[in-house]
């Protein structure tokens, strides 16, 4: 690892637990590089996760880090941000963690537009519990709990986040890393709820079950399937099926939750409840 990045890692905890070719390491690296590029103050960054392979990331990162309960990262993060809005709060979460058990917290954090950056390690599977289908597993894919193929339809996390009220929404992939770093930088600079859905790979469980074999083949798939948001805008729904649309979907200015609450404090202290 590059010398200038070492201070951001808990080097004595490496190597990480992730399988060979697991995309989680790539996303974690991208987050670190984005933080470094922006020169953010390390002691003012707080990284919160839930439970899953992906949620182990903060354990390797040298910041205020909190590895919470399955699905609840955004709830803990909301408390932290409310308590101290000077902290830059980042949530690292898996697709299951964020969209299944944590789905309610996800839409409500987005609705409040609280200044938290959420990065979803979206490998379309429950990796940690060895390969059950998640709300992000595509229809027709196989999982240990979908041995005949998955009949559930998957979420489009970006659409979900955007309609819930997120004010910065983008999708990147573990193949397109320079772009991913740029997207994370923009999300970190955004004031409000920002979401990055990162298309990720779990070679061990999703890959094997779906006969994709190696991390390399899974990456090739991402490369083949990816199109930019601009190109996608010109395509019909049929043409879009099976495509991964990457890039920015929304960037909006809207009142941020902790700032709004500070106004409440002023109001309450001024004694003018109606004003």
Partner 1 sequence: MIEKNIKILINEKACKKCGLCIAFCPTKVYASEGGKPLIVNLSACTNCKLCELRCPDYAIIVGGEDIE
Partner 2 sequence: MSKKIMLLQGNEACVEGALAAGMRFYAGYPITPSTEIAEISAEKLPKVGGKFIQMEDELASMGAVIGASLAGLKSMTATSGPGFSLKQENIGFACLTEVPCVVVNVQRGGPSTGLPTLPAQGDVMQTRWGTHGDHPIIVISPFSVREVYDMTIRAFNLSEKYRVPCILLMDEVVAHMRERVELPEKSSIDIINRKKIKPTILDYKPYMDYDGDCILPMANFGEGIPYHVTGLIHDISGSPSSDQKVTKTLLNRLMSKIYNNVADIIEYEKIYTEDAETVIVTFGTTARSVLRAVCLLRQEGLKIGLLRLKTIWPFAHMAIKELTQTPVKNLIVAEMNYGQLMETVKASAEGAFSVYGLNKYNGELITPQEVIDKVKEVAERA
Ligand X SMILES: Cc1ncc(C[n+]2csc(CCOP(=O)(O)OP(=O)(O)O)c2C)c(N)n1
**Contacting positions for ligand X (CB under 6 A):** 51-54, 70, 94-97, 121, 123, 125-129, 134, 202
**Contacting residue, 39, 269, 272, 274, with partner 2 by CB under 8 A:** 269
Q: Which two tokens stand for residue 217?
A: 């083949």
Nearer to ligand SF4, 175 or 249 (CB): 175
| Contact by Cβ (8 Å): 98, 106 | yes
Q: Is there binding between residue 261 and partner 2 (CB under 8 A)?
A: yes
Binding mask 99-138 for ligand SF4 (x = CB under 6 A): ------------------------x---xx----------
Tell me which residue of 107, 89, 88 sits closest to 98, measured CA to CA: 107
Contact call for residues 179 and 223 (beta carbons, < 8 A): no
Based on the shown chain and the rule CB under 8 A, indicate whether residue 24 belongs to the binding site for partner 2: no
Interacting positions 178-207 with ligand SF4 (CB under 6 A): 202-205
Footprint of ligand SF4 on residues 202-241 (CB under 6 A)?
A: 202-205
CA distance 188 to 183: 9
* Residue nearer to partner 2 on the CB measure, 128 or 184: 128
Sites for partner 1 among residues 28-47 (CB under 8 A): 29-30, 33
Site for partner 1 in 193-212 (CB under 8 A): 203
| Three-class DSSP category at 132 | strand
| Alpha carbon distance 111, 163 (integer Å) | 9
Give me the long-range contacts of 220-228 (CB less than 8 A, separation at least 24): 222/173, 222/174, 222/175, 223/175, 226/173, 226/175, 226/176, 226/199
Q: With CB under 5 A as the rule, give the number of residues binding Mg ion.
A: 4
Return the number of the residue (192 or 203) whose C-beta is nearest Mg ion: 203
Residue nearest to ligand X (CB): 94
| 7 touching partner 2, by CB under 8 A | no
Sign, CA dihedral 188-230-28-167, equals positive
* Residue 224: CB minimum distance to partner 2, A: 37
Cβ distance 8 to 35 under 8 Å? yes
DSSP percent split of the chain into helix, strand, coil, nearest 5: 45, 20, 35
H or E stretch covering 95:
helix 95-96
Per partner kind, with CB cut-offs from 5 to 8 A, the member of ligand SF4, ligand X, partner 1, none near residue 97 is: ligand X
Q: How far apart are CA 197 and CA 185, in angstroms?
A: 14
Q: Which stretch binds partner 2 (CB under 8 A): 76-84, 169-177, 193-201, 228-236?
A: 76-84
78 is a contact residue toward partner 2 (CB under 8 A)? yes
Which residues lie near partner 2 (CB under 8 A)? 10, 13, 42-44, 46, 48, 51, 56, 58-59, 62-69, 72, 75-84, 86-87, 104-105, 108, 261, 264-265, 267-269
């Amino acid at each position: 690892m590059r010398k200038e990045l070492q201070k951001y890692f808990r080097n004595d905890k490496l190597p990480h637990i992730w399988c060979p070719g697991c995309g989680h390491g790539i996303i974690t690296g991208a987050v670190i590089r984005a933080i470094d590029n922006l020169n953010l103050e390390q002691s003012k960054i707080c990284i919160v996760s839930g439970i899953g392979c992906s949620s182990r990331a903060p354990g390797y990162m040298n910041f205020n880090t909190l590895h919470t309960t399955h699905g609840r990262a955004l709830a803990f993060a909301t408390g932290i941000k409310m308590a101290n809005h000077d902290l830059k709060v980042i949530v690292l979460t898996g697709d299951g963690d964020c969209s299944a058990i944590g789905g309610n917290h996800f839409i409500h954090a987005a609705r409040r537009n609280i200044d938290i950056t959420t990065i979803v390690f979206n490998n379309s599977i429950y990796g940690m519990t060895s390969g059950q289908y998640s709300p992000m597993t595509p229809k027709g894919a196989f999982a240990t709990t979908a041995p005949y193929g998955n009949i559930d339809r998957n979420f489009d996390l970006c659409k979900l986040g955007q309609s819930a009220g997120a004010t910065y929404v983008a999708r990147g992939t573990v193949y397109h890393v320079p772009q991913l770093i740029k997207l994370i930088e923009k999300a970190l600079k955004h004031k409000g709820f920002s979401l990055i859905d990162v298309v990720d790979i779990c070679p061990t469980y999703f890959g094997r079950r779906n006969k994709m074999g190696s991390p390399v083949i899974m990456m090739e798939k991402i490369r083949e399937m990816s199109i930019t948001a601009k190109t996608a805008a010109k395509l019909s729904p049929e043409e879009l099926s099976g495509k991964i649309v990457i890039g920015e979907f929304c960037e909006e200015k809207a009142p941020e939750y902790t700032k709004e609450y500070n106004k409440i404090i002023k109001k309450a202290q001024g004694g003018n409840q109606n004003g």
